Structure 1
């Protein structure tokens, strides 16, 4: 049975609201919670971007059962990998072993703020590979000196290490990223229900002598609302960027860029790819595509801050019942 998660979407909700939703989502029965790590929202209509690690620290204290993930953190530009390692170890202690570090190559939207040139995708992947190697070294608790192609670490050591080691889940999108990151990661993150990608990940791990069957974590946007037309309007206003695909989404630097790139996306285009309205069976069907592709964990994104509490109070439990029955 796939685990069903809830997304703490920092692009659409403030920090206090996110902590409140995290508690409600745990109470409703979600198995895990993932938190985006953004400096900018995708679109100005979303309107938020609190610091994910402060939010997760508060969530770790406010919840008891749900697993927690970054989904995902880029440990190469806005954050140095040595700092990410420290943050992850501390959060694991606060969460009593419930935390998994989700990593990815990042988006220009968030990383440009530190004034560095946005690298090509090949270089971003190489930077992420080196960053994971550094983080792994620091997780041992040993003193680390590192001088690589992209990063330096000077006599660093983590002094507060959790009893439960921090697992690393890495976001991939194609054969090259699978080949690079499957041997370095514990779990797979992917944003599309691609059966071939999942199979390639397992095969690559087995070829290196690692366990083949690991967790595969995906994410699915939904826009539940008692009124379908209202849901479609909200999804179009706040989530039309989603259809651009990651080749586009990773490179645009501003909310204005995303607004311009999606100005001709119609509400019906969004509704064709995102379940909108009160029909819970439509959400179950969409989750089914991930299950059939071999995903073990699917995190739902309820679009729009203003309907989070109603979604969690009215729809979450019956939806989870349907998903688990299916």
Structure 2
């Protein structure tokens, strides 16, 4: 059975707003939470980007739901040993525990310390090594590691995850990446209901849940919702690898000048038709997803949660 959670977007909302959304999500019947990990928003209009680990600490005080990062990049901006410590502490704090979703990242967030932004193949190698380092640290034992990309000396997590391990879910958006993830992931993260990609992951030996997310914009005024998405999240419609290589919000703003409101209306679920919202989520269920996280774009949060509690989630069982 597919579980439905709520997606907390650090790019668009302040820490206080994210904490409030978590409360509302649990009350509305969502069964889990996901949260993004960014240094920058995608554009200046979104206007936020708090440190995710601080926000997760606050979430631990207001909700019993499990939390998954979608996704953290543990390779450039943060060393995997530091990421492991943050994740382990979060797991201990959260009543529902933490799962660490990871990916190869975007230049938008990871180049900020002046490091070279590597090509995909190198980033994929870095991610595999980082995950291996973190898993060893999660055991609570002392770790020394001298690898291709990372060095760790005499490190030990005295606050280790409660079970001595954390599930690590790996993000993949193409068949090659999904097959690679199958070799070391505890689950797959991908954002489109692509049955073929999931099949490739499973055929390569991939285990664990398949997790995805989708952004919607509830509003009683459909055209207002379309305009809200076009203003805040036109980056959702950018093709190919642009999201991984553009370095600043200003570059994303330039690229999304090509995105029209008509394109948004055709691609993003907007408005207040419960059948349309339910059909969008059911597409993920039919594709084989175990978990789907829904994010509401814009400031009509109270209306969204009422709508999903009363008219959408009941349709999905």
How many pairs align? 316
Residue of 281, 285, 293 corresponding to 1:287: 281
Distance in 2 (alpha carbons) for counterparts of 1:246 and 1:148: 31
Tell whether the 8 Å contact from 1:97 to 1:163 is kept in structure 2 after alignment. no
| Contact 1:34–1:299, Cα closer than 8 Å, also in 2 | yes
In 2: Cα distance, 1:239 partner to 1:317 partner: 26
Q: Deviations over 1:14-39 (max 9, x none)?
A: 00110011011011110111000011
> How far is the alpha carbon of 1:246 from its aligned partner?
5.1
Corresponding residue for residue 314 of structure 2: 321
Superposition RMSD on alpha carbons, in Å?
A: 1.3
- For 2:304 and 2:31, the matched residues in 1 are separated by 16
Greater displacement, 187-196 / 170-179: 170-179
Would the aligned equivalents of 2:218 and 2:303 in 1 still touch at CA under 8 Å?
no
TM-score (norm 1): 0.94
Q: 1:59 maps to what in 2?
A: 59
CA–CA distance in structure 1, aligned partners of residues 104 and 309 of structure 2: 32
Distance in 2, Cα, partners of 1:19 & 1:142: 33
Report which stretch shifted further, 314-323 or 116-125: 314-323
* SS of 1:100 mapped into structure 2: strand
Segments of structure 2 that go 5 or more residues without pairing to the other structure are none
Aligned partner of residue 222 in structure 1, secondary structure: strand
- Which residue in 1 is equivalent to 2:267? 273
Structure 2 contact 138–161 (Cα < 8 Å) conserved: no
> 1:209 maps to which residue?
none
Equivalents in 1 of 2:96, 2:157: separation in Å? 17
Identify if the C-alpha distance between structure 1 residues 239 and 311 changes in structure 2 by more than 3 Å, giving closer, same or farther.
Answer: same
Specify whether residues 153 and 317 from structure 1 end up closer, same or farther in structure 2 by C-alpha distance, changes over 3 A only: farther
- SS in structure 2 opposite 1:320? helix
Structure 1 distance, partners of 2:118, 2:153, is 24
SS of residue in 2 equivalent to 1:263? helix
Alignment partners' CA distance in 1, 2:218 and 2:33: 18
Q: Which moved more, 1:176-185 or 1:218-227?
A: 176-185
Contact residue 127 and residue 150 of structure 1 kept, 8 A: yes
Deviations 1:124-158 (A, max 9, x none): 11110110010111111121111111111111111
Whether the 8 Å contact between 2:57 and 2:93 is mirrored in structure 1 is yes
SS in 2 for 1:61: coil
Which residue of structure 2 aligns with residue 174 of structure 1?
Answer: 174
What does the per-residue CA deviation read over 1:226-282, in whole Å, with 9 as the maximum and x for residues that have no partner? 110100000111111111135111111111111110102110101111011111211
Provide the C-alpha distance between the structure 2 equivalents of 1:61 and 1:182, rounded to a whole number of angstroms. Answer: 34
CA contact (8 A) 2:43 2:252 kept: yes
Q: Following superposition of structure 1 onto structure 2, how do residues 251-270 of structure 1 map, counting pairs within 5 Å?
A: 251-270=245-264
Q: How far 1:97 moved relative to its partner?
A: 4.8
Higher alpha-carbon deviation: 171-180 or 229-238: 171-180
User: Could you say which residue in structure 2 is the equivalent of 1:312?
Assistant: 305
* Residue pairs, 1:1-326, within 5 angstroms: 1-64=1-64, 66-164=65-163, 165-205=165-205, 212=207, 214-245=208-239, 247-304=241-298, 306-324=299-317
Say which SS state the counterpart of residue 205 (structure 2) adopts.
Answer: helix
Q: Separation in 1 of the partners of 2:274 and 2:96?
A: 33
Give secondary structure in 1 for the equivalent of 2:211.
strand
CA distance in 2, matches of 1:236, 1:84: 33
Deviations 1:277-312 (A, max 9, x none): 1112111111122112111111011111x1123312
Aligned equivalents of 1:234 and 1:9: distance in 2? 15
Partners in 1 of 2:120 and 2:252 — Cα distance?
A: 19
TM-score, length basis structure 2: 0.96
Change (3 A) 1:222 1:97: closer
Give the gaps of 5 or more residues in structure 1: 207-211
